[in-house]
Structure 1
Amino acid sequence: MIGAATFFDGYTVIAIAYAMPVLAKEWSLTPGQIGLILSAGYLGQLFGALFFGWLAERIGRMKVLTFTILLFVAMDVACLFASGAVAMMAFRFIQGIGTGGEVPVASAYVNELIGSKKRGRFFLLYEVMFLLGLVGAGIIGYFLVPVYGWKVMFAVGLVPAALLIPLRFFLFESPRWLASKGRVEEADRIVSRLEQSVIKSGKTLAPVVEMPMAARPNAAQGWRELFKGMYFKRSLVIWAMWFGSYMVANGLITWLPTLYRQHFHLPLETSLAYGFMTSAAGVVAAVICALLIDKVGRRRWYIGALFCAAIPLGLLAATGATTPLQILMMAGLGYAMLQTVTFSLYLYSAELFPTRLRALGTGIGSAWLRLGSAMGPLVVGVAISGAGVHYVFGTFAIVLLITGCITALFAIETKGRVLEELSP
């Protein structure tokens, strides 16, 4: 059920990219206006990640998830009636607040329900739902936008309202969060129900693993604890990874369809198809990552992916990025490798923080995602207007090399370790 919400979150985030080739022509948008519209949603997501991450630590995961889903669906309706660039920017900004709050809170919730042995594989297969949302947007864009226009992208986004709100009543609050708030009896009832379902299916429960109780820090610290002790270093590292990887990934994926259309003057169908192929390559790479990351380890995978993704982007900068096919091949390869980092950082973030800080730490971390995602399209718009396409890829390659160095120097390994052991 949470995966279904995450699917439509991914769809909503990228829908504007497939509407933009038509919008840009219909509204006679400049490259600067295009960049602002694409970035508005990500700026909203920054505020949503910060606020709803904080709120989820106080009122619970499920209440926040329900509200954020309603918010981004409501703004889908508003986008259908946008009459110009300013209105679309405003609606996408508010919609971003909802999508920015849903993903980090959902990630904290799902992480808190998974055991340590195969946490990476299980969680990342769930996260693939977000990437499938990106691909779903590409399919809708390719087949329907040329026929029905840009509004069809937002009309399809109304589906989650019909599906997810009734399903909300079948979900339960996170037992880890309940226990952290002293509501132990409620947490025990939920866990007992889950255990009984395992026994009824004919399986045997694993032995209980007892963890020593760590001294609970002063609850009044709140977000300040992220800047103290071992969590300070972890916060800085994950922020750098969020910012660098998403600046490049979303800078590429949101601009490529419009780049093919306006810079290389490809037909609309071809531009949308190339954008879809890049998203699909990211999904394939992400599934491979999900199946292997528990064996390879988080830190080793991230270092390799960041450095390897910089290579094809650097080659595009060096060769001039002169043909759309060249960009499709090289940018698609770089994006696919980078996608294994971006989609799995919610797993890594949730592993770095304790239950009392998990939604907040993940939310603040993903706020840097939003800032990076907002800067990516702006960098592309400015570079194309003033310098040239190849400078975009050179800038992105440098960002990835810097992010890879930070990861290699400061990231820790988390695979196979219980959450309470990692983060007391």
Structure 2
Amino acid sequence: MATQVLEGAAHGAANAEIVARLERLPITRRLQLIRVAIGIATFFDAYTVLCIAFAMPSLVAEWKLTPAQVGMIISAGYVGQLFGAVIFGSLAERFGRLKMLFFTIVLFVSMDVACLFAWSAASMIAFRFLQGVGTGGEVPVASAYINEFIGAHGRGKFFLLYEVIFPIGLMFAGMAGYFLVPIYGWKALFIVGLVPSILTLPLRYFMPESPRWLASKGRIEDANKVVSMLENEARKEGKSLPDPVVRPIDPKATAKSDWRELFKGIYKKRTFTIWALWFCGYMINNGMVTWLPTLYKTVFKMPLQEALAYGWTTSGVGVIASIICALLIDKVGRKTWYSAAFFLATIPLVSLTVMGATSALQVMVMATIAYAILQTITFSLYLYSAELYPTRLRAMGTGFGSAWLRAGSAVGPIVVGTVVADFGIRYVFSAFAAVALIGCIVTVLCAIETKGKVLEELSP
């Protein structure tokens, strides 16, 4: 017993030193390379999520799909993502970040190929579900991985400039749909989606395992090698390294992962809060953005290419809003930003209900404003989620949280399809406004501020 206590104390001290050395590291070329490599995978994740929306107008005509089938095809990927987020978030705590990243990339690439050979709604639902398992696992593990390399100062900016690649991937899906689908058909979207994934696989071999994860598992020597490599590279690049400031780390930092801890102590409130934010933000945004091209074509009778252009415009404005958020969130703070964004998004959504959503232009302008505002929340929640949990729970907590992203994303398209068929398009936006207001209330009452704080201080 005494020996175990001494070993635990030694591991804790060594872990604290590893964290202190990481906290003072500047942004080096290798860290930039890591961000690029993970960013390419995340780009493909986002592209994969949305490309089905721009393939859907053609599939509706080719396969004679009903609104219910459209909703099921769109939602199948999100249901798969729910399972992937939970499964791979847990596995990443046990086997490491890099192994799980590689597996998830291989899975969603192989299913992208399978989608090329889909012949019916049922086959597309099956392939999109399995593809979703891979895409759902990739992003939460990637977000935990990147967060664990960066110190408290500037963590939000560094991480979100990586995460901006997600809305860029969404926008690229719209561009590809606009230019390719009218000429080459819907399968062209899935062929294009293979390119970024091919680039990701060789880049992955230049990436070390997370030193924070290694240290938390007692693999101090391996963690030290990674940190020493990063320190040496910083010196070679002529960057100064201040003396590390070692802070005491809670003994639980080297404890084994236990999912039940997500629902105990300080983490219980954080877990349910982040679940609510994920669900509310993504139910609205993915509910809208995946259905808008089809709505423009079927409800407002727009030509295919014009419908795709309107959808692409919404994604493009979302990218601009995301970049603004990435540059400012370290100054404004997470809680303040999210509270304001949820509240402001209700204004254009309620306006659409009042105006009746009677024209495509009216819907495009107001829905784009709401989408862009909420996009600043949805794309940055991976940052916030990773900040709320300690290393032993980070990938798992982020995975469990983003599972509610997938749940919201699965519910959103089904809600749109059902409400449009039974009540009309205007009432979709009133429902989304109510969800945004709930998100605002939860943020104000329950969220904590994390800007400028060391991960180990936020989460013992």
1:37 maps onto 2:46 in alignment: no
- Give TM-score, length-normalised by structure 2: 0.91
Letter of the 1:8 partner, please give it. F
| Post-superposition offset of 1:218 | 8.9
Partner of 1:318: 354
Report the secondary structure of 2:224's partner residue: helix
Distance 2:182 2:249 in 1: 59
**Deviation string for 1:363-397 (max 9, x for gaps)?**
00000000000000000000000001000000000
Partner of 1:344: 380
Count matched residues.
424
Partner of 1:6: 42
1:355-394 correspondence runs (5 A)? 355-394=391-430
Distance 1:3 1:347 in 2: 14
8 Å Cα contact 2:164/2:319 also seen in 1: yes
| C-alpha spacing 1:219/1:191, structure 2 compared with 1 (3 Å) | closer
After alignment, is 110-119 or 152-161 more displaced? 152-161
Partner of 1:419: 455
| C-alpha spacing 1:316/1:364, structure 2 compared with 1 (3 Å) | same
**Where does structure 1 lack aligned partners over 5 or more consecutive residues?**
none
Distance 2:415 2:255 in 1: 41
Match of 1:262 among 294, 298, 303: 298
Distance 1:353 1:216 in 2: 12
Distance 1:148 1:13 in 2: 20
Distance 2:101 2:256 in 1: 24
Report the secondary structure of 2:205's partner residue: helix
**Where does structure 2 lack aligned partners over 5 or more consecutive residues?**
1-36
1:134 maps onto 2:170 in alignment: yes
Distance 1:246 1:100 in 2: 14
Distance 1:288 1:162 in 2: 30
Letter of the 1:351 partner, please give it. E
Distance 2:46 2:265 in 1: 34
Report the secondary structure of 2:243's partner residue: coil
Distance 1:206 1:379 in 2: 54
Match of 1:405 among 430, 433, 441: 441
| C-alpha spacing 1:219/1:207, structure 2 compared with 1 (3 Å) | closer
**Deviation string for 1:338-387 (max 9, x for gaps)?**
00000000000000000000000000000000000000000000000000
Match of 2:150 among 108, 111, 114: 114
Letter of the 2:160 partner, please give it. L
Match of 2:241 among 202, 205, 225: 205
1:290 maps onto 2:352 in alignment: no
Partner of 1:148: 184
Distance 1:218 1:171 in 2: 23
| Post-superposition offset of 1:209 | 1.9
1:192-271 correspondence runs (5 A)? 192-216=228-252, 219=255, 222-271=258-307
Letter of the 2:231 partner, please give it. E
Distance 2:105 2:181 in 1: 24
Letter of the 1:55 partner, please give it. L
Match of 1:97 among 129, 133, 137: 133
Distance 2:420 2:249 in 1: 56
1:163 maps onto 2:199 in alignment: yes
Report the secondary structure of 1:25's partner residue: helix
| C-alpha spacing 1:313/1:124, structure 2 compared with 1 (3 Å) | same
Letter of the 1:213 partner, please give it. I
Match of 1:51 among 87, 107, 125: 87
Distance 2:105 2:429 in 1: 35
Letter of the 1:215 partner, please give it. P
Distance 2:390 2:289 in 1: 33
Distance 1:108 1:34 in 2: 33
1:299-338 correspondence runs (5 A)? 299-338=335-374
Distance 1:350 1:121 in 2: 14
Distance 2:62 2:243 in 1: 63
8 Å Cα contact 1:172/1:190 also seen in 2: yes
Letter of the 1:112 partner, please give it. E
Partner of 1:79: 115
| Post-superposition offset of 1:162 | 2.2
| C-alpha spacing 1:110/1:217, structure 2 compared with 1 (3 Å) | closer
| Post-superposition offset of 1:201 | 1.0
**Deviation string for 1:212-262 (max 9, x for gaps)?**
021217946600000000000000100000000100010010000000011
8 Å Cα contact 1:281/1:336 also seen in 2: yes
Distance 1:142 1:172 in 2: 38
| Post-superposition offset of 1:206 | 2.4
Letter of the 2:248 partner, please give it. P
- Give the share of equivalent positions with the same residue, in percent: 63
Report the secondary structure of 2:153's partner residue: coil
Distance 1:228 1:211 in 2: 24
| Post-superposition offset of 1:97 | 0.1
Partner of 2:160: 124
Partner of 2:26: none
8 Å Cα contact 1:211/1:420 also seen in 2: no
Letter of the 1:279 partner, please give it. S
8 Å Cα contact 2:84/2:137 also seen in 1: yes
8 Å Cα contact 1:314/1:393 also seen in 2: yes
8 Å Cα contact 2:171/2:315 also seen in 1: yes
Distance 2:205 2:334 in 1: 34
- Give TM-score, length-normalised by structure 1: 0.99
8 Å Cα contact 2:283/2:410 also seen in 1: yes
Partner of 1:188: 224
Distance 1:60 1:20 in 2: 37
The ranges of structure 1 where at least 4 consecutive aligned residues each deviate by more than 6 angstroms after the TM superposition are none
Distance 1:399 1:7 in 2: 27
